[in-house]
Amino acid sequence: MSTENKPVRCKVRVLQCFITTMASVVRFFCRLYYGNEGAKIPKITHDILKTPAFEVARKIRNKEITSVEVLETCIRRINDVNSALNCFVENRFELALKEAKEADALVESGTKTPKQLEEEKPLLGVPFTTKDCMAVKGLHHTSGVVLRKDVIADRTADVIRILQEKGAIIIGLTNVPELCMWWESHNHLYGRTNNPYNTTRIVGGSSGGEGTIQAAAGSIFGVGSDIGGSIRMPSFFNGIFGHKPSRHIVSNDGQFPEAETELHNSFLGIGPMTRYASDLKPLLNIMAGENSSKLKLNEAVDVSKLKVYYQFSSKEPLVDSVDPDIIAAMKKSVEFLKEKHNVNTEEKKIQLLKKSLPIWMNTMKRTKKYEENIMEKKGVFAIIVEIFKNIFGCSGNTLIGLATALSDHTGAEYGDAKYKYHVELKDKLEKEFKEMLGDDGVFLYPTHPTPALYHNEPLARPFNFSYTAIINCLGLPATNIPLGLGREGLPIGIQVVSNHNNDRFCFAVAEELEKAFGGWVEPIKS
């Protein structure tokens, strides 16, 4: 390295040392404060909650169970677990019950055969949930922002509408961080969401409430959105499957906040969150609407013909080392694919991944400042005043929301030289991935470096989201795959990435690893 970079490297090392020390201190006090025991949640007592969504739909079509029964089972489950988890924030139970009765009446009428219903309404009568940043007509549309506490959606987001048209029944909204821009789900409207495997731990964000309700089996499937890992991190922390689709495949219309630029729109993706890998492909096929043909989801995937690349760590400064349990799980996954399918595997050390964090943070810059969506007053001084108010419990904003607003006044500005430099880095890395993956490759990579942290602990480890964020920058599809529980009894897993519009490769690998390692594990305390 050149001599002029030495001061920069020195500053990074000092900052890295400070963050590592601070994280260790915070972990010590978190253990003292929270302990290791969390609240217990009831055992799942109805098998329908342990059934994949499309199997539930088949049972409804064939009169093996009614939509009303499924809905009432979900409602009971939500009521049983929500006091401990605080994941479900608004219901539409009455309307959902009306729609479930209509679904059952259609089945009973016999005007359409089960085959016709499968073709026209493949999710007929199946209850689902979505996060509180997706517009659902008649429900609040807050994104966890106090200033939006009285906002009621006057229309429904495209993707939710498409699912409804295919027979699915939306039953309510789940919790998010303030403005969906942090990886712990907490806001000053609905409070903090707890992890079902240990309620002292985080659930991720921004689709954190959705990850939790899926893990706890409160709805049959869920819809999340992801601009920096907001589907995959909550899926990882909660031990479920979650897929961020290829860019520009699922409509982002109806979300708040909206993507301000075309580049941001390419980062942002709406996708399915489920307990079962088998639901991912048919759900995306529906959610993608007219774009589904681009994905060739009906083409069979021969896993033995895939090339499997993998990397254990980004080695990025300021980001935690990858937990040994996660590394071990990835090694087992690679060995399984090699032994069962005789695939070609290759460990990679992609150097540009060390710059994941600055690439995402600088290319996320936009003309509108963060505080404009969460505060009445604007500017650095107003943010600092609000931070002091927060310390004394007098602010409607979260501390991390205010810190994010303050950080938005640093670094690159939209369109300046620094911004353009990082866009160029993004393009260079994307080209490297495209050439590596080709039309037959997948890339295994950590979803997150550690299992679920204690509540508030991400404040001391703020940059760990870089493992997912960089994949958003590249517009590539990625699926979180749960791989059991680690030594602390918390979910672990990895993400599988494929080339643009090759989402079906992610699903094929997810299904194989689910068979091998068990997938979702019910959160029961012994």
State residue 416's pLDDT score: 96
What's residue 524's pLDDT? 84
Instruction: Indicate the helix (H) or strand (E) that contains 344.
Output: strand 344-347
Contact 445, 244 (CB under 8 A): no
- Please tell me whether residue 244 adopts helix, strand or coil conformation: strand
Strands (DSSP E) contained in 57-101 are 88-91
What average pLDDT is seen over the chain? 96
CA distances from 264 to 222, 253, 259 (A): 23, 13, 5
Q: Which residues, other chains included, contact 377 with Cβ-Cβ below 8 Å and sequence gap of 6+?
A: 385, 386
Q: How far apart are CA 136 and CA 156, in angstroms?
A: 4
User: Distances in Å between the alpha carbon of 462 and those of 22, 23, 39, 415?
Assistant: 11, 10, 26, 25
**For residue 246, which of 284, 286, 300, 277 has the smallest C-alpha distance?**
284
Q: 429-444 pLDDT, tens per residue?
A: 999 999 999 999 999 9
Q: What is the pLDDT of residues 106-154, one digit of tens each?
A: 999 999 999 999 999 999 999 999 999 999 999 999 999 999 999 999 9
CB 486 within 8 A of CB 328: no
User: Which residue reads 């789900």 in tokens?
Assistant: 185
Total residues belonging to the chain: 526
Q: Which of 267, 198, 245 is nearest to 489 (CA)?
A: 198
pLDDT at 11: 73
Distance (Å, rounded) from C-alpha 252 to C-alpha 266? 10
From the candidates 206, 207, 278, 466, give the one annotated as an active-site residue: 206
Can 266 be counted among the known catalytic residues? no
Alpha helices (H) in 86-203, listed in sequence order: 93-109, 114-120, 158-165
Catalytic residue selected from 225, 230, 313, 498: 230
Positions in the chain whose pLDDT score sits under 50: 1-4
Is 6 one of the annotated active-site residues of the chain? no
Q: Which CATH superfamily is domain 36-365+411-517 in?
A: Amidase signature (AS) domain (3.90.1300.10)
Q: According to the model, what pLDDT value does residue 2 have?
A: 44
pLDDT of residue 36: 80
pLDDT of residue 14: 84
Known catalytic membership, residue 230: yes
Whether pTM > 0.95 for this model: the answer is yes
Alpha carbon 486 to chain centroid, angstroms? 20
Catalytic residue among 59, 121, 131, 166: 131
Residue 134 to residue 144: CA distance in whole angstroms: 12
77 CA to centre of own chain: 22
pLDDT number for residue 6:
73
pLDDT for 389 equals: 97
